[in-house]
Structure 1
């Protein structure tokens, strides 16, 4: 069951990132103006953020298996529309739908926490989050490789078929879970602000991960552009392989979960933030040598991904301990807040790289991690 949930989370969330390496092809094919090409990715993220705030909370009210299967089928349909799209309007509407449907990945993770025994909840959530992070990390190189051979339409067509099959498996294998919360939908949404305002752990964990995810998004927005420069001169396939190597960082998720289960959340959070710092210090130390610089970039991608993977699990373990009846709402708020940090990192990264080059971009990413670490130093040790 843990393996199924991990694979499902990765397959679902990967759909948010397929378009990132295909923006140029999609905008040219659909007639989207160069100045509006960013909408290919932005609308997917907009749909996801809307879903986090207005769909994920329903996981505390609706039967979870039916909600998950319905969301996966909806995402499959949106992917099929994207695969068949030949106009910008059709593709952008499909992109919005993909983001809305993919939020069921954030119903799956609290679902795993519900099924897990208390003593091993962090470790099991960590394993499921490993699958989610692997989906994020493999999506970009996979999309690039498939598009090289079959065009960008094939990427979305294949994903649509894969999710339709996943929906059938989940319907057959997942147990039913009927939440105890009896709130009506308006009350459910209204309760989000109250939960945020009255839950210090949620606010703190969201701030930590907004800083790290902002740095992560900045790194992976600028790294492909940096690696195409004469110093590295990597091809599209080389960049895809670089991204695949960075996936090694996902191994930190279950380790972080076990540390959280053992009561070491605070110190593990500090280590995760320090890994983020290291992920940007290493490229700044890179010498003129192409080989050494590339090795340092690879090492930076791995340690940064380890920090992000570990901190995500530590945050989820902390907020899931606050009660089963509010897990989906807490998870929705948590993800919405740190995705805002990711959006800030992505947009800032492109601008800083264009104006200040690779060193400026790495320094900006370092600043995100240092801010998170400085805030961590204000956390009091638990008695």
Structure 2
């Protein structure tokens, strides 16, 4: 007797309670926040360890490099290992790494511990595919939006947490507190997470190669990756160059002004769950269309920020808020589309998607700084518009093709079968031609 080895088969799906969703959202917030709070305490590390400012920034760099490596090296294991022991192990290792960082006697051990923490704190990348398999398709967008609001909250509040606690109790305190929280979450999840079956028996080298193969064989994955890479590239360019603008002659403010402006983005915590519900009701394509248009509008609003003064500040606040909402809401739509492609390969799909998104963000930061040096703030806004325009053009081509397929399906003769995928609404994915892995029960 054979049976598909898919974790979210209807009769096995344990379901998603509100309590479990809240716990997973909190875990996403802690996981993402762990990557960002060390940025706020770098000056404290410099003073306490008598190191140069450039050396202290290696801690932040080590965490970021470790996080990127964790997405690529550990993310695909979400399809190979049962989710509960895998997620609990990651959180436990993160907690131990944070405690080791908090007790580090010097900079070198701190950097090593930071690299371990960055690699293991990929909980949010494991929780997304896990949650997608615990809910019905018509609720998937709302759940993903809620999880993303937790990640956004962790990113925004992490710097405040680290800076405040570090000023009060020293630079070691944020690491020790965060480590204790991670270990407590690991213990709680070990008792509350439902049991899930792995969806793949592939060996580890094959799992690492699978995201590249999926990019080659799944056009909807490539489309989602293009959308997020371009939009996140523009987003990263704006926030990288914003510090240069605010501390430059147009405003003459300190670096803290960037942090204050970033708090405006807290509104996205409320918008992403709503965007997820819209995805469930209208489909990912319609939400993507609105988001890409929103990015174009934000580029126009942000252009007025070059003038400085009160009017420029208002333009920057409004433009960055619109950009944040459009980028995060688009991510909900893209993830919902991606997770629907291959229920047996969600972690590998997510690895391909997030890797492309981060590569786009890194490229956007690099290009944005160079454009700012040549064309100023208006050049950066033009870059955002061009990137959004590329994604929007691709999206309109996809919508036109879908409409053509629907018309062809309506013109077929009596008794002719409907081609696979033709005429499906945006929320219903086309059937994948990839084989489902099976094992003998």
Secondary structure of 1:379's partner? helix
TM-superposed CA distance for 1:317, in Å, is: 0.4
Trace 1:226-245 onto structure 2 (pairs within 5 A): 226-229=245-248, 231-235=250-254, 238-245=257-264
Q: Which residue of 2 aligns with 1:320?
A: 339
How many Å separate the matches in 2 of 1:172 and 1:326?
A: 26
Q: Distance in 2 between matches of 1:87 and 1:191?
A: 40
SS of equivalent residue, structure 1 residue 378: helix
Q: Which residue of 2 aligns with 1:305?
A: 324
Conserved in 2, the CA contact under 8 Å of 1:181 and 1:325?
Answer: yes
Judge which range, 255-264 or 138-147, deviates more. Answer: 138-147
CA–CA distance in structure 2, aligned partners of residues 375 and 172 of structure 1: 45
RMSD: 2.5
What residue is the counterpart of 2:79 in the other structure?
60
**Superposed displacement of residue 339, structure 1:** 0.8
1:223 to 234, 242, 264: 242
Q: Give the match for residue 128 of structure 2.
A: 109
Check the 8 A contact 1:65/1:175 in 2, yes or no: yes
1:155 maps to 174
Q: Answer yes or no: is the 8 Å Cα contact 1:80–1:160 preserved in 2.
A: yes
Distance of 1:30 and 1:179 partners within structure 2: 45
**Which structure dedicates a bigger proportion of its chain to helix?**
1
Offset at 1:127?
Answer: 1.1
- Of the three residues 291, 310, 315, the one matched with 1:291 is 310
SS of the aligned residue for 1:282 comes to helix
Residues 23-34 of structure 1 aligned to structure 2 (within 5 Å): 23-26=42-45, 30=49
Q: Judge conservation of contact 1:30–1:85 (CA < 8 Å) in 2.
A: no
Structure 1 residue 48 and structure 2 residue 76: aligned?
A: no
2:355 aligned with 1:336: yes
Partner of 1:246: 265
CA distance in 1, matches of 2:131, 2:24: 7
Cα deviations by residue, 1:29-52 (Å, 9 ceiling, x for unpaired):
556666666543333222222222
Q: Is 1:180 matched with 2:199?
A: yes
CA offset digits 1:263-318 (Å, max 9, x no partner): 43222112112222233321212374622211111111211110111111111100
Inter-partner Cα distance in structure 1 for 2:347 and 2:156: 24
Per the alignment, residue 374 of structure 1 pairs with 393
Matched positions, count:
383
Moved over 6 A (4+): none
Which SS does the other structure have where 1:175 is aligned? coil
Q: Post-superposition shift, 1:94?
A: 2.0
In terms of mean alpha carbon deviation, does 80-89 or 29-38 score higher? 29-38
Could you list the per-position Cα deviations for residues 126-165 of structure 1 after superposition, in whole angstroms to 9, with x for gaps in the alignment? 1112211222233234434444444433332222222122
241-250 or 311-320, which deviates more: 241-250
Give the counterpart of 1:196 among 215, 223, 231: 215
Of 359-368 and 268-277, deviating more is 359-368
- Mean alpha-carbon deviation: is it higher for 228-237 or for 303-312? 228-237
Alpha carbons of 1:37 and 1:379: their partners in 2 closer, same or farther (altered >3 Å)? farther
- Hey, what's the Cα distance between the residues in 1 that align with 2:354 and 2:213? 17
Contact kept in structure 2, 1:202 and 1:319, CA below 8 Å? yes
C-alpha distance 138-215 of structure 1, shift in aligned 2 (>3 A): farther
| Cα-to-partner distance string for 1:106-125 (whole Å, 9 max, x where unaligned) | 11111111111222111111
Partner deviation per Cα, 1:345-375 (whole Å, 9 max, x = no partner) = 2333344445554444333334333332233
C-alpha distance 35-287 of structure 1, shift in aligned 2 (>3 A)? closer
CA drift of 1:88 comes to 3.3
Query: Which range moves more in the overlay, 147-156 or 68-77?
Result: 147-156
Distance 2:171 2:377 in 1: 29
User: TM-score, normalising length from structure 2?
Assistant: 0.79
Contact 1:64 1:176 in 2 (8 A): yes
Q: Which runs of 5+ in 2 are unaligned?
A: 1-19, 407-441
Q: TM-score, length-normalised on structure 1? A: 0.90
Distance in 2, Cα, partners of 1:188 & 1:246: 36
Distance 1:186 1:219 in 2: 37
Deviation at 1:203, TM superposition (A): 0.9
Cα 1:348–1:138, aligned 2, differ >3 Å: closer, same or farther?
farther
Q: Secondary structure at the match of 1:177?
A: coil
Higher CA-based Rg: 2
Structure-1 separation of matches of 2:345 and 2:190: 24
| Match for residue 207 of structure 1 among 226, 233, 239 | 226
